[in-house]
Amino acid sequence: MQDVQEFRKASYDIDPIYTKRWSPRSFLNKSVPEDVLHSIFEAARWAPSAANIQPWRFIIARTEEDRKKFLDFMFDGNAIWCDKAPVLVAVVSKTVSEFTKGYNPSHAFDTGTAWGYLALEAARKGLASHAMGGFHKDKAKEILNIPEDYTVHAIIAVGYRGDKQTLPEKFQDREQPSNRNEIEMFISEGAFEEKL
């Protein structure tokens, strides 16, 4: 397997975990020990949350039966590779709160932060994680019995990274870390400035 540093180099001094984390599609047929799996959710637990509401919820599929349920609502382009992942996780958030007396405007922001913490801890533990938006949300809500006042944001494949040769050919060339825009492309000072 190729080294991440062949594809990514930070322009400023940061912890290497940020460039180490990427989203592969190839997974080993190897289960994730429960204590290791729970450690990534422990990291998510400590994400910041507006008014400490903590709207995030995670639905885990580890058994063959549960993973098949998830595959039933995945788009074909994702199902073709994520079926090898030993763990699939639905990222869900509660959209209402007693604190806000109705709609919680930060539910998605906070839940995205929790996913970020989870992804970084997964990388620290030697796990691969790949979040996917390519699934039928209404069908996922129905199959997973998600109440109306919750929304499902993504499905995450989690496991140990496998060899790209196990992927369908169309994914093999893409099985490498992607680079990112330099910070000058997304920060502006004093007022918004669109960057190309």
Q: Residue 170 domain-assigned? A: no
* pLDDT reported for residue 6: 73
In the chain, how many domains are there?
1
Q: Residue 104 domain-assigned? A: yes
* pLDDT reported for residue 5: 67
* pLDDT reported for residue 77: 96
* pLDDT reported for residue 7: 81
Q: Residue 193 domain-assigned? A: no
* pLDDT reported for residue 184: 94
Q: Residue 109 domain-assigned? A: yes
Residue 119 belongs to what domain range? 44-160
Q: Residue 124 domain-assigned? A: yes
CATH code, domain with 138: 3.40.109.10
- Measured between alpha carbons, how far is residue 77 from residues 8, 85, 135 in Å? 26, 15, 10
Residue 158 near residue 87, CB atoms below 8 Å: yes
pLDDT one-digit tens code per residue, 127-153: 999 999 999 999 999 999 999 999 999
* pLDDT reported for residue 3: 64
Q: Residue 22 domain-assigned? A: no
7/170 Cα distance (integer angstroms): 20
Residue that is written with structure tokens 């040769």 in the block: 165
Q: Residue 35 domain-assigned? A: no
Residue that is written with structure tokens 């140990």 in the block: 160
Over the chain (196 residues), what is each successive 10-residue block's mean pLDDT? 73 95 95 98 98 98 98 97 97 96 97 98 97 98 98 98 92 91 94 90
Give the largest CA-CA distance in the chain.
53
